[in-house]
Chain A
Amino acid sequence: EVQLVESGGGLVQPGGSLRLSCAASGFTFSSYWMHWVRQAPGKGLVWVSRINSDGSSTSYADSVKGRFTISRDNAKNTLYLQMNSLRAEDTAVYYCARDGDSSSWYWFDPWGQGTLVTVSS
């Protein structure tokens, strides 16, 4: 069974940092693009970042560019999101998602259960 389990969320002050992790199992992690998608409380889904299968190519939404860094460790089957200079508007549930197909980079399946990040003083 394919599983994605996020961790690392919590309460952080504005300007602070947090690192999210996503542990993957049940598939060949090193063959897939991976993504982070977030959802502010009561709001819609927003794509945050993606990384290719070997970690050599990354992309970010404009709202997080320069502050967030996506990375992966294929030996540990783990995806990361390093979040720096956090703002109140970064408060959201952060979902890890695998790309839907090993040959694509543009859709999400499956998704993890999400981890809540709250940025507040």
Chain B
Amino acid sequence: NFMLTQPHSVSESPGKTVTISCTRSSGSIASNYVQWYQQRPGSAPTTVIYEDNQRPSGVPDRFSGSIDSSSNSASLTISGLKTEDEADYYCQSYDSSIVFGGGTKLTVL
């Protein structure tokens, strides 16, 4: 099996843009879709990106996803940061099993 590695925490100011990375330890990042979930304190996760770069209905276009085969990583980019974006973000992918990254705490200050 493989691992997905995320930074433990990131912080940025309101109105700015932040990017959270997710690096796959083995196997190609492009081989299997990557999803991103947002989890606010005390709440269940919700999907912000699925299948690398697709946004569910209701998710603002400030959220975007991409993959980079050269670094074997996926990225979640949030532009025009709002205080309500402050949350934990998890990447997720799969092969025969399903794997989550360790999560990144986003602070908007």
Contact = CB atoms under 8 A, between A and B. Distances in A.
Interface of A: 35, 44-47, 50, 59, 61, 95, 100, 106-114
B45 A45 contact: yes
B37 A108 contact: yes
B102 interface: yes
Given A44-B100, A45-B103, A50-B98, A111 B44 contact: yes
Q: What is the predominant secondary structure among interface residues of chain B facing chain A?
A: strand
Nearest to A95: B44
Contacts of B97: 47, 59, 61
A100 B100 contact: no
A100 B98 CA distance: 14
Interface in B37-61: 37, 39, 44-47, 50-51, 56
